[in-house]
């Protein structure tokens, strides 16, 4: 009789699925070869082959010959699992099932812990916070959670009200998010500048920031040149006059003083407009940064809660060594089966290329 699973048609494909199927056929034949000597090990290894076959089935659906080969092998494999199960009986099968299930539960807890750790690290990176030290115990995770909750409460209390549309318009006109590299990231600095900006903006009483009435107005364009022209004419008349030069000189000096004052008023108006626009940018950045930090902290706190819960569940599992001490029973009764049971427990998540 040819080896089980090796008869029938074959796909000529050299894909990963084809190679994996050949490996599973070899593993099945090796497992059945020890049926008489160690039926429990044989059953475990055959079940492991069955679990790994699911990945091959999904990969073979686009190859008709390979799919047919997989279907034949799957039917014969099912027959062997049923036959071995009948031969062993419930008394021996039940503990094997229980051991595999307990190890899968432990593996799921490990996955939950590692997933939560990765998500915490991503949340901290998204808000520019330094990475946490290694969290290896439930107590360490709980301490990190408490610290994050305290920080979240502080940020939530400091998030300012949303800027009005006029302030947002100044932010957009100045470059919007393109301004981020030039703005501070220290929350204390951002908060201080944001509060100062609020005081400036509150004094505008609804006027758009930067829209100072005098700066750039028609009045300025008329007054400044007119005063300068008058001062210049007065100076020219003073120089050309042969008499009463003192009187014309006084007029010329007064004209230049007035011209300097007009220039000062224009400069002050422009400086005020610039300060108002800067205040608008600081106010928007205060709201934006603190809102983003709060969102990232909420996400971080959520994952820290999941991490703390997963670590507590894993600790409880380890302290009880599985329900009814069945993992201890496995170690005492058949320590040689522990690696086989662990391999079967991992078989559902084994990548195809590692089959």
The per-residue pLDDT string of the chain (355 residues; one tens digit each, 9 = 90 and over) reads 444 444 444 444 467 878 888 888 887 888 788 777 778 788 887 888 887 787 787 777 777 888 888 888 888 888 888 888 888 787 777 777 777 788 778 888 889 999 999 999 999 888 888 888 888 999 999 999 999 999 999 888 888 888 989 889 989 988 888 998 999 988 899 999 999 999 888 888 778 886 656 555 566 666 667 766 776 666 666 666 655 556 656 666 676 677 666 666 666 666 777 888 888 999 999 999 999 889 999 999 999 999 999 999 988 887 775 554 566 666 677 676 767 777 777 665 433 333 3
Angle at the Cα of 148 from the Cα atoms of 128 and 177, rounded to 5 degrees: 30
Query: Does some domain include residue 1?
Result: no
Q: How far apart are CA 163 and CA 161, in angstroms?
A: 6
State whether 107 and 195 are in the same domain: no
pLDDT of residue 5: 44
Coil/strand/helix, residue 213: coil
Query: Does some domain include residue 206?
Result: yes
Report how far apart, in Å, the C-alpha atoms of 293 and of each of 122, 149, 184, 289 are.
13, 13, 14, 6
Handedness of CA 63, 66, 72, 77 (dihedral sign): negative
The CA-to-CA distance between both ends of the chain, in Å, stands at 27
pLDDT of residue 2: 45
DSSP-derived secondary structure letter, 129: P
Query: Does some domain include residue 9?
Result: no
State whether 58 and 166 are in the same domain: no
State whether 108 and 143 are in the same domain: no
pLDDT of residue 244: 59
Handedness of CA 67, 70, 75, 78 (dihedral sign): negative
Q: How far apart are CA 140 and CA 145, in angstroms?
A: 9
pLDDT of residue 242: 57
pLDDT of residue 95: 74
Largest CA distance in the chain: 138
State whether 163 and 303 are in the same domain: yes
pLDDT of residue 219: 63
39 φ/ψ angles, rounded to the nearest 5 degrees: -65, -30
User: Do residues 212 and 273 make contact, with C-beta atoms less than 8 angstroms apart?
Assistant: yes
DSSP-derived secondary structure letter, 181: G
DSSP-derived secondary structure letter, 352: G
Of 49, 9, 45, 2, the C-alpha closest to 25 is 49
Angle at the Cα of 201 from the Cα atoms of 261 and 212, rounded to 5 degrees: 35
DSSP-derived secondary structure letter, 4: T
Query: Does some domain include residue 90?
Result: yes
State whether 176 and 312 are in the same domain: yes
Block residue for tokens 């100045």: 174
Q: Find the domain containing 302 and state its range.
A: 138-316
Which tokens in the block code for residue 289? Answer: 């940064």
State whether 83 and 217 are in the same domain: no
Helices (H) and strands (E) in the chain, counts: 11, 0
Instruction: Please count the structural domains in the chain.
Output: 2
State whether 66 and 178 are in the same domain: no
State whether 229 and 308 are in the same domain: yes
Q: How far apart are CA 124 and CA 297, in angstroms?
A: 8
Query: Does some domain include residue 10?
Result: no
Coil/strand/helix, residue 296: helix
Query: Does some domain include residue 3?
Result: no
Q: How far apart are CA 327 and CA 102, in angstroms?
A: 8
Q: How far apart are CA 97 and CA 167, in angstroms?
A: 66
Query: Does some domain include residue 277?
Result: yes
- Within 127-244, residue ranges assigned H as helices are 138-158, 165-173, 187-202, 218-240
Report how far apart, in Å, the C-alpha atoms of 279 and of each of 1, 98, 173, 179, 283 are.
88, 67, 14, 14, 6
State whether 342 and 288 are in the same domain: no
State whether 95 and 31 are in the same domain: yes
Query: Does some domain include residue 6?
Result: no
State whether 295 and 340 are in the same domain: no
pLDDT of residue 152: 92
pLDDT of residue 350: 39
State whether 294 and 329 are in the same domain: no
The torsion of the CA quartet 313, 317, 323, 327, rounded to 10 degrees, works out to 150
């Amino acid at each position: 009789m040819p080896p089980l699973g090796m008869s029938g048609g074959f796909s000529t494909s050299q894909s990963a699925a084809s190679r994996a199927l050949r490996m599973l056929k070899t593993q099945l034949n090796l497992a059945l070869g020890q049926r008489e000597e160690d039926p429990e090990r044989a059953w475990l290894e055959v079940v492991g082959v069955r679990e790994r076959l699911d990945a091959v089935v999904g990969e073979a659906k686009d190859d008709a010959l390979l799919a047919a080969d997989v279907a034949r092998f799957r039917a014969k494999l099912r027959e062997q699992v049923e036959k071995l199960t009948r031969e062993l009986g419930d008394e021996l099968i039940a503990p094997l099932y229980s051991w595999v299930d307990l190890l899968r539960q432990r593996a799921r807890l490990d996955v939950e812990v590692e997933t939560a750790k990765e998500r915490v690290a991503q949340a901290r990176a998204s808000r520019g916070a330094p990475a946490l030290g290694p969290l290896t115990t439930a107590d360490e995770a709980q301490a990190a959670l408490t610290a994050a909750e305290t920080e979240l409460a502080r940020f939530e209390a400091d998030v300012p009200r949303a800027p009005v549309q006029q302030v947002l318009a100044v932010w957009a006109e100045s470059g919007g998010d393109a301004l981020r590299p030039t703005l501070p990231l220290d929350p204390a600095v951002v908060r201080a500048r944001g509060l100062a900006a609020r005081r400036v903006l509150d004094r505008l009483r609804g006027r758009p920031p930067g829209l100072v009435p005098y700066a750039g107005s028609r009045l300025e364009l008329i007054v400044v040149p007119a005063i300068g022209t008058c001062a210049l004419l007065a100076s020219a008349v003073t120089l050309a006059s042969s008499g009463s030069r003192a009187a014309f000189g006084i007029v010329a000096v007064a004209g230049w003083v007035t011209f300097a004052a007009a220039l000062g008023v224009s400069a002050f108006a422009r400086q005020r407009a610039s300060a108002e626009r800067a205040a608008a940018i600081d106010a928007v950045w205060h709201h934006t940064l603190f809102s983003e930090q709060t969102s990232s902290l909420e996400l971080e706190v959520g994952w820290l809660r999941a991490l703390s819960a997963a670590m507590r569940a894993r600790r409880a599992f380890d302290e009880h060594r599985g329900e009814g001490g069945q993992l201890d029973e496995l170690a005492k009764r058949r320590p040689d089966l522990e690696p086989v049971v662990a391999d079967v427990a991992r078989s559902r998540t084994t990548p195809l290329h590692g089959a």
